[in-house]
Amino acid sequence: MQHSADFWIDHLGLEPHPEGGYFRETHRSPVTVHPPGFGGPRHLTTTIYFLLKAGQISQLHRLRAEEMWHFYTGSSLTLHQLRSPNGYVTAQVGPHAEHGHLFHTVVPSGVWFGATVDDARPGAFSLVACTCSPGFAFEDFTLANRDEMLEGFPAHADVIRMLTLEPQNFS
């Protein structure tokens, strides 16, 4: 019997993530490094659990660190990556190698990326872990601005609209 998304959220103590989905940090290396371009020391690695429900998105964002995604349970998910104005690639992280799923994959540093659950049925979800090296710090995290992304990556407007929120007008 497969557990539900709500079971995993409760069992693992997951909280809402700013990019969408749910997370909890599970490891922060005691070793620190001083990588160039990071503005200070960082932990060698960090790891989180990350759960995304069907219909939710992990919004487009980028990190200074590289991030490895490891599949645990549920449905496969697709990582959408904008590597250059004309370079859009996807990777499916999931349980079925015979369908081209990867058990883990790496998103290079500086790449805009987001994720969607491949199974759209109610109750579907993906539970993964994400490991950053150097370790994650919120000052190294940039959430995409839809208008700026559409200007910089016009060939990928559909993906950008799918993985960003509409700009809010508070006037």
Please name each of the domains of the chain with its CATH number. Answer: 5-162 (2.60.120.10)
Percent residues over pLDDT 70 in the chain: 96
Position 170 pLDDT exceeds 60:
no
Please give the average per-residue pLDDT across 16-31, as a whole number.
97
The pLDDT score that the predictor gives to residue 169 is 56
pLDDT digits (tens, 9 = 90+) for 44-67: 999 999 999 999 999 999 999 999
For residue 102, the 8-state DSSP code is B
User: Mean pLDDT, to the nearest integer, of 9-24?
Assistant: 97
Residue with tokens 């993530």: 17
Inter-residue contact 56 to 84 (CB < 8 Å): no
Strands 77-84 and 87-93: antiparallel
* Secondary structure element (H or E) that encloses residue 10, with its range: helix 5-12
Q: Confidence band (pLDDT; 50, 70, 90) for 2?
A: confident
Express each pLDDT in 133-149 by its tens digit: 999 999 999 999 999 99
Task: For residue 116, name the pLDDT band (cuts at 50, 70, 90).
Answer: very high
Backbone φ and ψ for 110, nearest 5 degrees, come out as: 80, -5
Tell me the C-alpha distance between 16 and 50, whole Å: 10
Q: What is the pTM of this model?
A: 0.94
pLDDT at position 165? 87
Six-digit token pair at 19?
């990019």
Helices (H) and strands (E) in the chain, counts: 3, 13
Instruction: Judge whether 96 and 130 are in contact, CB under 8 Å.
Output: no
Q: Among residues 168, 170, 162, 151, which one has the least CA distance to residue 20?
A: 162
Sequence length of the chain is 171
pLDDT at 156: 94
Give me the pLDDT at residue 168, please. 62
